[in-house]
C-alpha cells in the first residue's frame, strides 16, 4: 500500500473563510463533484451561497462520513442525529447550504428534521420560529 498525496482542494465561503479539504470529502457535494469532473474547478472553489459557519459544519459531517465509510467507529444514524442537534435557525441555514451544495442526503435529513419540528407547533410558535428577533 503505497502512500500518496491525496489531492486537496480549498473551499471558500461567502464571507471569505477558507477550508482545505481532501477531494474525497469535497466530492460529497454533488455540485463540487461535477465541477471537478468537468474540469471547471481550480484549486480554490468559491461558494458564494454558503457562509463559513455552516460550511464548516457540513465539511465536518462529510469528513466524519467518509471516515465512517472507510471502516470507522460509530453509526451513520449517530452522525446524522448529531448533525441536526442545533437550533431552528441554524438548521434552516444548514438546509439551504445543503441545497446549494447539492449534498442530497443532508437536504433530506434537514428537511425531515424541520418537518418534525414544525409538526407539533401551534401557529404562534411557528411564527415565532420564523421571526425570532421580534
- 51: its cell numbers: 457562509
133 binds another protein (CB under 8 A): yes
8 binds another protein (CB under 8 A): no
The footprint of another protein on residues 41-80 (CB under 8 A) is 51
Q: Which residues contact 57 (CB under 8 A, 6 or more apart)?
A: 83, 94
First to last CA, the chain: 59
Q: Which residue among 95, 101, 103, 106 contacts another protein (CB under 8 A)?
A: 95
Q: Which residues contact 72 (CB under 8 A, 6 or more apart)?
A: 64
Site size with another protein, rule: CB under 8 A: 31
Determine contact, residues 13/47, Cβ cutoff 8 Å: yes
Q: Which residue among 1, 6, 14, 66 contacts another protein (CB under 8 A)?
A: 14
Q: Which residue among 5, 40, 70, 131 contacts another protein (CB under 8 A)?
A: 131
Q: Which residue among 8, 15, 42, 82 contacts another protein (CB under 8 A)?
A: 15
114 binds another protein (CB under 8 A): yes
> For another protein, which is the closer residue by CB, 9 or 106?
106
Q: Contact residues for another protein (CB under 8 A)?
A: 14-15, 51, 88-89, 92-93, 95-96, 99, 107-108, 111-112, 114-115, 118-124, 126-127, 129-134
Amino acid at each position: 500500500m503505497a502512500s500518496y498525496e491525496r489531492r486537496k482542494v480549498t473551499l471558500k465561503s461567502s464571507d471569505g473563510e477558507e477550508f482545505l479539504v481532501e477531494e474525497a470529502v469535497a466530492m460529497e457535494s454533488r455540485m463540487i463533484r461535477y465541477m471537478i469532473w468537468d474540469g471547471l474547478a481550480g484549486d480554490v472553489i468559491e461558494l458564494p451561497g454558503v457562509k463559513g459557519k455552516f460550511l464548516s459544519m457540513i465539511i465536518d459531517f462529510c469528513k466524519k462520513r467518509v471516515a465512517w465509510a472507510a471502516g470507522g467507529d460509530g453509526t451513520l444514524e449517530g452522525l446524522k442525529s448529531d448533525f441536526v442537534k442545533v437550533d431552528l435557525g441554524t438548521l434552516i441555514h444548514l438546509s439551504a447550504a445543503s441545497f446549494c451544495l447539492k449534498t442530497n442526503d443532508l437536504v433530506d435529513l434537514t428537511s425531515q428534521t424541520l418537518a418534525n419540528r414544525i409538526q407539533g407547533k401551534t401557529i404562534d410558535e411557528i411564527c415565532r420560529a420564523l421571526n425570532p428577533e421580534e
